[in-house]
Amino acid sequence: MKISIFGLGYVGAVTAACLARDGHEVIGVDVSPEKVALIGAGESPIVEPELGKLLAEGVASKRIRATTDAEAAVIASDASLISVGTPSTERGETDLSYVFNVCKEIGSAIRKKSAPHAIVLRSTVPPGTLDRCHTLLQDTLQIESVHLAFNPEFLREGSAIRDYDAPPYTIIGTEDPVAEDVVRQMYAKVNAPVIVVKPPVAEMVKFVANTWHAAKVSFANEIGRISKGFEIDGREVMNIIVQDTKLNLSSTYMRPGFAYGGSCLPKDLRALLYCARTMDVPIPLLNAIPATNTVQIDLAVQEVLRSGARQIAVFGLAFKSGTDDLRESPSVLMVKRLLGEGCQVKIYDKAVQQARLVGTNLAYIQHNLPHFEALLVAEPQQAMEGAEMIVVTYATAEFRQVLGEAAKGTRVLDLVGIFNEPIKDLDYQGIAW
């Protein structure tokens, strides 16, 4: 393919070098004559292992050239990649002016072409930006023969070439089959699964990935601080944690749902926070975990009350499926709040109904819901009878079947994502989807 790349900074230079190596013809475009001169001479504008060698090879093979002439680059290419900067303003907002300016430049050049042209946005941008680019090109410039996609990059400085060659996946944010095909051709030699989603999803993924990386760094650092307070080497602790790929480094617990609870997580986190306080160790990230967990319960209660429903069926009282453990269950706290707001609640939980509660489990539920037995019903249909809303707190095959057979228009507040796709005959909503 013939590809023009707008922005010859870190991402643009690496992408240009790798695309040329893989057989594409690349035209780099930048407003900086210095960057253009360096790329044109086969020299790297940044310090990055292997990049200089690839650029030199690309220029020598005539697969890479660079220019400040945006129009000439677009006319000479089949697709344009946008990898310009998106810096933060003083208040933290993403400055998209460079993206929109480049879109206008590309659009103006496309108007002079007879062949269709694809635009692939690589810059990190907030959800909805590609749609704004589409509006700009169609409404402002009256361009029809353009195809848009968002393609986030996951390149780390210092290992960018390796990251380009072995990404976790290639994400294509588009609903345009032509644009999708262009991106697939672009990365035909990259061995990675391809995930095609709507543009806003792809745009959000990039923000989430970087935020998660920042959270991991902060988490490890706070654990290190507490460990040192105990005269323990925090590196040794975290080295053991990262060797667990079944729970600690996995997809487990990494999907939006209801709040955590049970006999372990709340208690152990409180204990760790207490230890940190006694040693005067600052841990703002860990301190925020209970607060954000409480917010999830608050939002569930607010959604029920906002709906106007007062006859509520709750599917699931224990803190997770397959257990009768009610200790610090977010469902118990939610039901307690709803009762306090004047709601009538019936609860279906097979494990709790059949269990013989004893010890601290019994003491906890009696303290928080003294008459909980009167709220429990033996069958899900009994809970649904007369209910104005069904609240699902954990996922089971039984719940899925019962709701799938529910009357048309039944209102369901799904706190756990029991369905991958909403059931069209249900009045279905969640707090994270």
Residue 157 annotated in ligand binding: yes
Tell me whether strands 389-392 and 411-414 are parallel, antiparallel or unpaired. Answer: parallel
Question: Integer distance in angstroms from the first to the last C-alpha of the chain?
Answer: 38
Cβ neighbours of residue 329 closer than 8 Å, sequence gap 6 or more: 261, 262, 317, 318, 319
Residue 261 annotated in ligand binding: yes
Residue 53 annotated in ligand binding: no
| Cα 78 from Cα 3, distance rounded (Å) | 6
Residue 234 annotated in ligand binding: no
Residue tagged active-site, from 103, 264, 275, 343: 264
Give the amino acid at 167. P
Residue 216 annotated in ligand binding: no
Residue 155 annotated in ligand binding: yes
Task: Output the six-digit token pair for 409.
Answer: 């228009």
Residue 256 annotated in ligand binding: yes
The answer to whether residue 264 is catalytic is yes
DSSP letter string, 254-309: -S--S---SSSHHHHHHHHHHHHHHTT---HHHHHHHHHHHHHHHHHHHHHHHHT-
Angstrom distances, CA of residue 91 to CA of 53, 84, 106, 123, 342: 40, 20, 29, 20, 42
CA 50 to chain centre: 31
Count helices and strands (H / E) in the chain: 17, 14
Containing H/E element for 173? Answer: strand 170-173
Per-state percent for the chain, helix, strand, coil, to nearest 5? 45, 15, 40
Task: Output the six-digit token pair for 178.
Answer: 């032509």
Residue 346 annotated in ligand binding: no
Residue 320 annotated in ligand binding: yes
Residue 253 annotated in ligand binding: yes
Residue 255 annotated in ligand binding: yes
Residue 267 annotated in ligand binding: yes
Residue 124 annotated in ligand binding: yes
Residue 30 annotated in ligand binding: yes
Contacts 24+ apart (CB under 8 A), 157-165: 157/10, 157/48, 158/48, 158/49, 159/49, 160/10, 160/14, 160/48, 160/51, 161/14, 161/17, 161/18, 161/48, 161/49, 161/50, 161/51, 161/54, 164/14, 164/15, 164/18, 164/190, 165/18, 165/190
| Cα 13 from Cα 186, distance rounded (Å) | 16
Residue 63 annotated in ligand binding: no
Residue 327 annotated in ligand binding: yes
Tell me whether strands 411-414 and 117-121 are parallel, antiparallel or unpaired. Answer: unpaired
Is the CB of residue 27 less than 8 Å from the CB of residue 43?
no
Known binding-site residue numbers for NAD(+): 30, 35, 86, 124, 157, 267, 327
Q: Write out the catalytic residue numbers.
A: 264
Known binding residues: 30, 35, 86, 124, 154-157, 206, 253-257, 261, 267, 320, 327
Q: Binding site membership for substrate: which residues? A: 154-157, 206, 253-257, 261, 320
